[in-house]
Amino acid sequence: MVLDGTPPEAVEQIMELEITNLEERHMIGHSIFKNMGSYAPAFGMIGTLMGLVNMLQNLDDPSKIGAGMAVALLTTFYGAIFANLICIPF
45-64 residue pLDDT tens? 999 999 999 999 999 998 88
Alpha helices in the chain (DSSP H): 8-57, 62-81
Supply the pLDDT for residue 6. 83
Percent of the chain surpassing pLDDT 90? 80
Tell me the domain boundaries of the chain: 8-87
Percent of the chain beyond pLDDT 70? 97
pTM of the prediction?
0.70
Report the 10 Å Cβ neighbour count for 17.
10
pLDDT given for residue 75 in this prediction? 96
* Rounded Cα distance, 30 and 43, in Å: 20
Pick the more confident residue, 4 or 1: 4
Kindly give, in sequence order, each residue whose CB lies less than 8 Å from that of residue 60, ignoring residues fewer than 6 positions away: none
28 burial (CB, 10 Å; 0-12 / 13-18 / 19+) is exposed
